[in-house]
Amino acid sequence: MNSDWNIQAPGHACRVCGQAFSDGTPLFSKLTFDTGGYTRHDYCAICWQAPAKANALSIWRSVFRAPPPPPAEALRKETADTLLRQLMETEDPANGNAIFILAVMLERRRILVERDVQVRDDGVKIRVYEHRKTGESFLIPDPELKLAALAHVQEQVVRLLGGTPPGEQKTAEPATATDQPERPPKENEER
């Protein structure tokens, strides 16, 4: 599994005491790194003490949100959130720039909150985001895009979302002779 892109839902219970979190319960989260990659650990307020904070790359406080029931509609509308998840599941490095732009879009819409920035030994920045509604952690490498590449990546993301990039217009089919409305003849014109 590629550890560069990772979504981790909050635990449903405290890692230490096992008490289940209920909707609206404050919880404390920490991110660690071991041989298996990044791991998220969640704690209740009582168990969040010095030993729980040990070996943390990142720590934050949030509120547990019970997962919403699945939507009843059969057809899902493509959103930046669902597209981000789909691209992360592919684990294709070619999607790295689009994944980063989608995460920034969701941060600007206040859907994702940046909780921390980690710098790996190889110099790659890993941005730690938390989903406001679900509490999931998203680990997104920062590709450090240059301004020249930004417009191309934004156009790619707009196309992936089913839109038309600015400056491009949807081309209409050229009209044929049969598509032209018939006009009435002018006074001195023969038909």
Per-residue pLDDT in tens (0 to 9) along the chain, 191 residues: 444 677 788 888 999 999 999 999 999 999 888 887 888 999 998 888 866 777 888 899 999 988 877 665 544 455 888 889 988 998 888 888 889 989 988 999 999 999 999 999 999 999 999 999 999 999 999 988 887 777 778 887 777 777 766 666 554 444 444 444 444 555 555 54
For 139, the token pair is 């680990």
pTM given for the model: 0.55
Contact between 135 and 64 under an 8 Å Cβ cutoff? The reply is: yes
Strand-pair partners of 39: 32
CA neighbor of 84 nearest in space, from 71, 98, 67, 68: 98
For 120, the token pair is 């790996």
Q: What is the largest CA-CA distance in the chain?
A: 98
Contact between 139 and 4 under an 8 Å Cβ cutoff? The reply is: yes
Element (H, E) at 114: strand 112-119
Contact between 96 and 157 under an 8 Å Cβ cutoff? The reply is: no
Element (H, E) at 111: none
Residue 71 has what pLDDT?
64
